[in-house]
């Protein structure tokens, strides 16, 4: 057997290899069927899955941010716009020697080190075909300089981008506001679909309050990109919808006049139209340059603004809560008439101070020698404190609270601007709830002359004055007058919102108070006769001088203004409306630590009213 096997047997060997070849052939077919099975699975069964993934690979959605709506004043003067700015960009892939190019560019255009660092950092991080900004905000001269030499700089280009600009700058920064980079809080609060691609959002002022109108809706573009992310072609395009243009109630001319009139004083000016609540001017000083935030504020500048003792970022017009002082006397007088505790002819003897029964404390009048025998008219015109001590005492704090609430004091008015503060209109309930203390009659006296616990914002004072001007009717203050849809010529005006009117038992009381306020401006005894002089229209006004600190009431000697440190000096306030027979403007002015309301704040209010009422020369 073994010998037979060791012999070569060609026929058997041939049979063997034939058999093996057939088996191999079957194996080949079987394995090929395995491949085919797998290909069937990939290309037929799971085709949809892979087709989708293939499309996901190549198609990218690029969001196109909408152009922000423009903001105009009531006369069509631009308050916020989008201006093209020019930036120098380099596509590293198209430049042979990036560093050499930057050096050469630096000889034509100033390139600060900070910009260079940022540029090189992005060059390292991003793909070479992407255009990377080297210098932003080129001046026209720089653009021209580059354009002349551009043939030497392949791969370097100037790109235009839209940036928010505020032509009035710091003049209207608190009213118009500004846009700034999205913060994490912003991102959490907003609709992610509308804000895909958006870099900046309104932070304060109108920009924040009417963000949803101004923003618009993003468009999108589906592009085909390769594995490196390079765009090859557009597959689909849907344009963005620009934001709506807004027309504000502000009047740039009045706003500027108010800023000029306030001058170097810290403080606020608010002017409203009593007939509809339109805010004509809203000034808070010191102010700031809104563009600082648009460009992205650096830490040092921001810390500086925050640390500034003048608090330039603080919007005094809405958030400053000041004692109203004597500016509250006209409505206090109305409260007395309405409550029936006095008649217009009722008189009080003013001897320069007032004392409660069984109490040694002297509540002083601003005029040490006293005003003598005064009726309501004299008390308002001369701002007699003693009269109002007695009046407040007679009315009672809770009735005062209820009546003055009708003029918007002690509550946020609901203006369409962010951050409005309510001020404080005290009452027995308030004191019990917040301090768990009973109310003392002396505290009522202080409220009677707009001091003590009572605080108001400049906006509230303007609103209160406006309501007096139009006999108790009133409108919620507003800054947005109308809007314009993108691409449309039509302007859609918003209706003013009336507030609950104040009804008096005898409407003639309004006339009594108006006459008294006119006397402030236009009679010899008035506290602001100089501010009312030479006006081509009649003004009704009221001065106020609010004490900042509790300078001792018992101190017989009224402190001389200049002996007191600035931060302890009185605030100068003034409220007024005009023309008194058909009012179209009501103003509230506060100049911090400026002293006498009649002397300092009165002329400021006059200048603001002139801007509205005097024909421009």
Partner 1 sequence: MSQNRPDQSGFQRWLLNWHIDAMLLGLIIMVLALGLFVLYSASGESSAAVSSQLKRITLGLVVMLALAQVNPDTFRAFAPWLYAFGLILLVLVLLLGDTAKGAQRWLDLGVIRFQPSELMKLAVPMVLAGFMHARTLPPKLRTIAAGSTLIVVPAALIMQQPDLGTALMIAISGGFVLYMAGLRWRFIGGLVLAGAAALPLLWSQMHGYQRERVLTFLNPARDPGGAGYHITQSKVAIGSGGLFGKGWLNGTQAQLDFLPESATDFIFAVYAEEVGLLGVLLLLVLYLAIVGRGLFISVKGQDSFQRLLAGSLSLVFFFYVFVNIGMVIGLLPVVGVPLPLISWGGTSMVSLLAGMGVLMSIHTHRRLLSS
When asked if residue 28 is in the footprint of partner 1 (CB under 8 A), the reply is yes
From the candidates 326, 383, 516, 580, which is the catalytic residue?
326
End-to-end Cα spacing for the chain: 136
When asked if residue 49 is in the footprint of partner 1 (CB under 8 A), the reply is yes
Among 1, 5, 114, 188, binds partner 1 (CB under 8 A): 5
Among 1, 11, 188, 227, binds partner 1 (CB under 8 A): 227
Taking the C-alpha atoms of residue 175 and residue 595, their distance in angstroms, rounded to an integer, is: 26
When asked if residue 20 is in the footprint of partner 1 (CB under 8 A), the reply is yes
CB of 234 to partner 1, least distance (A): 15
CB of 228 to partner 1, least distance (A): 7
Q: Which stretch binds partner 1 (CB under 8 A): 14-22, 213-221, 455-463, 594-602?
A: 14-22
Q: Which stretch binds partner 1 (CB under 8 A): 44-52, 250-258, 345-353, 423-431?
A: 44-52
Which residue's CB is nearer to partner 1, number 20 or number 508?
Answer: 20
When asked if residue 228 is in the footprint of partner 1 (CB under 8 A), the reply is yes
Residues 523-582 interacting with partner 1 (rule: CB under 8 A) = none
Among 1, 3, 13, 572, binds partner 1 (CB under 8 A): 13
Among 78, 106, 213, 225, binds partner 1 (CB under 8 A): 225
CB of 63 to partner 1, least distance (A): 21
Handedness of CA 339, 345, 349, 352 (dihedral sign): positive
Taking the C-alpha atoms of residue 316 and residue 128, their distance in angstroms, rounded to an integer, is: 50
CB of 209 to partner 1, least distance (A): 46
Neighbours of 161 (CB within 10 A): 15
When asked if residue 61 is in the footprint of partner 1 (CB under 8 A), the reply is no
- The verdict on whether 383 is a catalytic residue reads no
Cβ–Cβ < 8 Å for 350, 365? yes
Cβ–Cβ < 8 Å for 593, 522? no
The count of residues interacting with partner 1 (CB under 8 A) is: 45
Residue of 68, 294, 57, 55 whose CA lies nearest to 197: 68
When asked if residue 34 is in the footprint of partner 1 (CB under 8 A), the reply is yes
Burial-class residue 140 by CB neighbours within 10 Å (0-12, 13-18, 19+): exposed
Taking the C-alpha atoms of residue 494 and residue 479, their distance in angstroms, rounded to an integer, is: 11
Q: What is the dihedral of CA 502, 506, 507, 508, to 10 degrees?
A: -140
When asked if residue 237 is in the footprint of partner 1 (CB under 8 A), the reply is no
* Largest separation between any pair of C-alpha atoms in the chain: 155
Taking the C-alpha atoms of residue 124 and residue 572, their distance in angstroms, rounded to an integer, is: 59
Mention every residue, 6+ apart, whose C-beta is less than 8 A from residue 261. Answer: 269, 603, 604, 607, 608
Taking the C-alpha atoms of residue 447 and residue 408, their distance in angstroms, rounded to an integer, is: 16
When asked if residue 32 is in the footprint of partner 1 (CB under 8 A), the reply is yes
Point out the residues that are catalytic: 326
Residue numbers at the binding site for partner 1 (CB under 8 A): 5-10, 12-14, 16-18, 20-21, 24-25, 28-29, 31-32, 34-36, 38-40, 42-44, 46-47, 49-51, 53-55, 57-58, 224-228, 232
């Amino acid at each position: 057997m073994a010998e037979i096997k060791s012999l070569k047997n060609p026929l058997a060997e041939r049979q063997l290899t034939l058999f093996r070849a057939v088996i191999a052939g079957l194996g080949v077919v079987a394995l090929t069927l395995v491949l085919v099975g797998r290909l069937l699975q990939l290309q037929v069964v799971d085709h949809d899955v892979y087709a989708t993934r293939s499309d996901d690979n190549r198609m990218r959605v690029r969001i196109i941010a909408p152009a922000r709506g423009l903001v105009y004043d009531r006369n069509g003067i631009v308050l916020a716009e989008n201006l093209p700015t020019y930036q120098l960009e380099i596509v590293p892939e198209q430049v042979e020697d990036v560093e050499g190019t930057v050096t050469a560019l630096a000889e034509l255009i100033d390139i600060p080190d900070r910009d260079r660092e940022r540029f090189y950092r992005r060059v390292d991080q991003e793909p070479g075909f992407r255009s990377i900004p080297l210098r932003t905000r080129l001046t026209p001269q720089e653009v021209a300089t580059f354009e002349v030499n551009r043939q030497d700089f392949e791969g370097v280009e100037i790109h235009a981008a839209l940036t928010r600009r505020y032509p009035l700058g710091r003049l209207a920064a608190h009213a118009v506001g500004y846009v700034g980079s999205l913060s994490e809080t912003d991102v959490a609060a907003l609709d992610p679909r509308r804000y895909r691609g958006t870099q900046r959002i309104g932070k304060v002022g109108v920009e924040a309050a009417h963000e949803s109108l101004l923003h618009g809706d993003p468009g999108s573009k589906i592009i085909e990109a390769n594995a490196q992310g390079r765009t090859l072609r557009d597959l689909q395009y849907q344009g963005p919808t620009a934001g709506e243009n807004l027309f504000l109630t502000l009047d740039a001319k009045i706003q500027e006049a108010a800023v000029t009139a306030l001058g170097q004083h810290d403080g606020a000016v608010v002017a409203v139209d009593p007939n509809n609540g339109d805010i004509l001017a809203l000034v808070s000083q010191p102010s700031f340059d809104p563009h600082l935030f648009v460009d992205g504020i650096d830490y040092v500048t921001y810390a500086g603004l925050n640390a500034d003792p003048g608090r330039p970022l603080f919007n005094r017009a809405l958030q400053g809560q000041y004692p109203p002082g004597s500016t509250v006397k006209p409505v206090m007088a109305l409260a007395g008439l309405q409550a029936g505790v006095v008649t217009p002819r009722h008189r009080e003897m003013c001897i320069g101070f007032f004392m409660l029964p069984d109490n040694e404390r002297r509540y002083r009048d601003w005029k040490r020698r006293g005003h003598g025998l005064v009726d309501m008219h004299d008390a308002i015109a001369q701002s007699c404190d003693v009269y109002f001590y007695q009046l407040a005492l007679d009315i009672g704090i809770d009735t005062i609270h209820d009546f003055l609430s009708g003029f918007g004091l002690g509550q946020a008015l609901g203006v369409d601007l962010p951050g409005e503060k309510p001020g404080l209109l005290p009452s027995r309930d308030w004191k019990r709830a917040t301090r768990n203390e009973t109310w003392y009659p002396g505290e009522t006296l202080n409220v009677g002359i707009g001091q003590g616990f009572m605080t108001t914002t400049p906006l509230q004072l303007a609103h209160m004055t406006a309501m007096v001007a139009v006999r108790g009717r009133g409108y919620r203050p507003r800054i947005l007058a109308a809007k314009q849809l993108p691409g449309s010529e039509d302007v859609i005006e918003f209706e003013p919102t009336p507030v609950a009117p104040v009804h008096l038992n005898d409407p003639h009381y309004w006339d009594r108070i108006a006459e008294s306020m006119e006397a402030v401006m236009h009679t010899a005894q008035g506290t602001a006769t100089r501010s009312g002089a030479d006006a081509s229209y009649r003004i009704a006004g009221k001065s106020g001088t609010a004490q900042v600190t509790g300078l001792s009431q018992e101190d017989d000697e009224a402190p001389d203004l200049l002996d007191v440190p600035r931060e302890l000096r009185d605030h100068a306030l003034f409220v007024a409306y005009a023309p008194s027979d058909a009012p179209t403007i009501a103003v509230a002015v506060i100049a911090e630590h400026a002293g006498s309301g009649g002397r300092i704040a009165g002329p400021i209010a006059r200048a603001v009213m002139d801007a509205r009422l005097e024909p421009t020369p």
